[in-house]
Amino acid sequence: MKPFLAMLTRDMKLATRIGGDSLTVLLFYIMTGAIMPFAIGPDKDQLAQLGPAIIWISALLSLLLALDRLFRMDHEDGSLLAMRQASLPLEMIVVAKICAHWVTTALPLIVATPVLAILLNLEIDQTLRVIFTLLVGTPALICFGAIGAAVTVSIKRGGLIAPILILPLSIPTLIFGVSAVSSGAIANAQDAALLFLAGFTLLSLVFTPFAAALALKMAAE
Amino acid sequence: MRKNGKNPENIALNVMNLACERGGFEIFSGVSFTAQPGEVILLRGPNGAGKSTCLATLYGVLPKSFGTVSFENIDPEREPREYLHIVGHVPGVKTTLTVKENLTFWAQLYGGTENVLPAIEAAGLEAIQDSEASILSAGQTRRLGLARLLVANRPIWILDEPTSALDKQGDQWVGQLIADHCAEGGIVIAATHLDIPHLAPEAVKTVMIGYSAVDHAS
């Protein structure tokens, strides 16, 4: 347990220090969300209707921003190689890094969501529902991102390669995330969408550690 | 009587006829040696001969195309990686963590000691232990990377050019680290041109890595 916690706290420290990703992601999220009302115009009803989708798109884009770097820094400075000798399997190291990444990037973003909700004129119950779907759905986004980041870890200046790889995988999460908030034509569609969202998250949590660890091992060859 | 505080299980390493192929091109072949407790294996050869590749094949990051690497006396319940320390070309130092945080992390991840102060002192970094590693010079960063060897006890050290960027005192320090580790029964496999002080000549084996890559190029 101690090696796992050491990995977790170290990544959390790195993300919150200067040059870390926490603040970048948070600011990008608020910025993209905040400029939407200016582009869409002052129609309050329209804003409220588009609100959940805007929040989800902003969250997805800002998470993509930092996901690319999940393993790259450690790969470049030799830490990843040294981590493979740890008394912890690489799969568990991936789990620790995913947890730390979720806490330092997705969680601040979820906490900041009410700010965006006010700007987008969302009702309180809808705001709470967006926050809940983000809580359920963002771990899946981080997991898919981790696989993309692991596959592209050895590509120097990969640029957009990882996001291009991650984006198609993230689309189902986006679809069900938004439809779990927005009122659709079909009754109970929201709850079904929420269950699908939870299913994606659970599935990705199970497969990602193995897939990402395998990709990292192959990248080191 | 040799002490074996660093290698209580008497782990030994047997390498037989090891070869590695990358993209259909043979990097090196026919590397054989045995490393008994207390021995230093020095890999020598010209640039591009495959020393780093050979080390990577030893610790299992690269697949071998031929030959065997076997560890003697290891606990079958544990993975070979848990007996290894690896320091490669890049030292694995995080510049936004302090010197102490860097080492404490490795100590905890490797299941080593809680007290990292002796390792910091051994590396000569005690005056700046609470400073961010970004202020360190190249040599100090290398020392910090090597201090990782001291925070958790692993019987086999695999070092790739451990003295690059180090000054003369640094060279001596690394030589002393290796000598001390072997004096207590540890095994060191290093690609280096360093002379290891205070060690019986019979404990130092030199393995020449082939000239195949150079031959092919010419």
Q: What tens digit of pLDDT does each residue of B71-99 get?
A: 888 888 888 888 889 998 888 899 889 99
Q: Is the CB of B33 inside 8 Å of chain A's CB atoms?
A: no
Q: How would residue B61 be classed by pLDDT, with cut points 50, 70 and 90?
A: confident
Residues 108-137 in B contacting A (C-alpha not used; CB under 8 Å): 108-111
| Chain A nearest CA to B207, separation (Å) | 23
- Report the percent of chain B where pLDDT is more than 70: 93
Q: B12-217 has which CATH code?
A: 3.40.50.300
Q: How would residue B12 be classed by pLDDT, with cut points 50, 70 and 90?
A: confident
Q: B214 pLDDT exceeds 50?
A: no
CB-side neighbour CA atoms (13 Å) of A107 = 10
pLDDT value of position B217: 43
Q: Are B195 and B21 in contact (CB under 8 A)?
A: no
In this structure, which long-range contacts are made by residues B135-141, counting pairs with CB atoms below 8 Å and at least 24 apart in sequence?
B136/B93, B136/B99, B138/B165, B139/B165, B139/B166, B139/B167, B139/B170, B141/B91, B141/B93, B141/B165
Q: Are B7 and B155 in contact (CB under 8 A)?
A: yes
pLDDT value of position B213: 44
Q: Are B50 and B73 in contact (CB under 8 A)?
A: no
| Chain A nearest CA to B1, separation (Å) | 31
The structural domains of chain B, with segments of one domain joined by +, span 12-217
- Report the percent of chain A where pLDDT is more than 70: 97
Q: A186 pLDDT exceeds 70?
A: no
Tokens of B139: 């040599």
Residues of B with CB below 8 A from A5's CB? 108
Residues of A with CB below 8 A from B61's CB? 81, 84, 217, 220-221
Q: Are B30 and B20 in contact (CB under 8 A)?
A: no
pLDDT value of position A68: 83
pLDDT value of position B216: 46
A77–B89: do the CB atoms touch at under 8 Å? Answer: no
| Chain B nearest CA to A217, separation (Å) | 7
Q: Is the CB of B214 inside 8 Å of chain A's CB atoms?
A: no
Q: Are A181 and A174 in contact (CB under 8 A)?
A: no
pLDDT value of position A148: 92
Q: A184 pLDDT exceeds 60?
A: no
Q: How would residue A215 be classed by pLDDT, with cut points 50, 70 and 90?
A: very high
B96–A19: do the CB atoms touch at under 8 Å? Answer: yes
A81–B63: do the CB atoms touch at under 8 Å? Answer: no
A2–B111: do the CB atoms touch at under 8 Å? Answer: yes
Q: What tens digit of pLDDT does each residue of A4-63 get?
A: 999 999 999 999 887 778 898 999 999 998 898 889 888 888 888 888 899 999 999 999
A14, A220, A221: residue with CB nearest B94: A14
Rounded mean pLDDT of A73-96? 90
Q: How would residue B1 be classed by pLDDT, with cut points 50, 70 and 90?
A: very low
